[in-house]
Amino acid sequence: MVTTGANSDEEAAVSVANRSFYDAFEAEDFDTLSSLWEHSDRVQCVHPHWSTLRGWAEVGASWKAMIEGPARLQFVLTNEHVEVQGDIAWVTVDENIIGEGPSATVAALNIFARGDDNKWRMIAHHGSAIMMPVPRNQL
Amino acid sequence: MVTTGANSDEEAAVSVANRSFYDAFEAEDFDTLSSLWEHSDRVQCVHPHWSTLRGWAEVGASWKAMIEGPARLQFVLTNEHVEVQGDIAWVTVDENIIGEGPSATVAALNIFARGDDNKWRMIAHHGSAIMMPVPRNQL
């Protein structure tokens, strides 16, 4: 189990791919974001409160629409854990999101697969909003 | 990509493990549910609106508390997709939940690992509530 960062070259490579994905989203760089996903029918994605999208056509279109949308978001990533087994890796990370509205935290589970070119690409993303209890003195 | 059910022995075995997990939860049978999880530090779980739980001690305790709680839930599973690569498998499934309150749908991503005994056990569960738009005539 990795508590912070990575303790092997493989985990470090997955961590870099994971961070590059959020960097590309922040930079509104769809081409780079797209290159970090496997372009296949097996890819899947759940955005907070959405149902599951399947296949790169659907998944890619959702990220493109978000990038082209009006909101400009910044991600502060915390509690990253990377696990690798064979050619599959999975990352859990908290996305602390700074946008125009109140900031929010999304718990994400990202699955990556290692391609024949040894590059890790995302094959599944599942994000869900963490419900923050409102402090009593703000009720 | 599997659209419904499974198209290989491996995918069928993963599908059975996945369904057994929900059956055990419905039957409030914690021992069976526990046997369907890997008991390790790497297991992870996100319940709808929760932050990520890590390690079997934390994850198991959350399922035990839910099973021992007052709510009795039934799961109707739809849109199941199973993917297998090496000794890792992942399942996306919609959990249509019937309880005492209004019914709800949770999009789930479950990751399984094949053990040395060839048995598939859950190593990650991420469930997020799907937001259903309210029909205009019910507003």
Asked if A49 and B129 come within 8 Å (Cβ–Cβ), the reply is: yes
Q: What are phi and psi of A57, to 5 degrees?
A: -55, -50
Residue of B nearest to A96 (CA): B51
pLDDT at A1 over 80: no
DSSP letters for B90-135: EEEEEEEEE-SSS-EEEEEEEEEEE-TTS-EEEEEEEEEEPPPPPP
- φ/ψ region of B28 (left if φ > 0, alpha if ψ in -120 to 50, else beta) reads left
The two structure tokens encoding residue A14: 């997955």
Best to test chain A binding among B88, B91, B121, B122 (most A CBs inside 10 Å): B88
- The predicted model gives A33-49 an average pLDDT of 96
Tens-digit pLDDT profile for residues B63-88 = 999 999 888 889 999 999 999 999 99
Q: Which residues of A touch B (CB under 8 A)?
A: 1, 41-42, 44, 46, 48-52, 54-55, 79, 81, 83, 85-88, 90, 92, 94, 105, 107, 109, 111, 113, 124, 126-131
Residue A3: per-residue pLDDT: 40
The pLDDT value given to residue B34: 98
Average per-residue pLDDT for chain A = 90
Can you state the percent helix, strand and coil of chain A, rounding each to 5?
30, 35, 35
Q: Is the pLDDT of residue B20 over 70?
A: yes
pLDDT tens column, A57-101: 999 999 999 999 888 889 999 999 999 999 999 999 999 999 877
B106-132 tens-digit pLDDT: 999 999 999 999 999 999 999 999 976
DSSP code of residue B37: B
For residue B134, what are its two tokens? 């309210």
Q: Where is average pLDDT lowest: A19-33, A122-136, B34-48?
A: A122-136
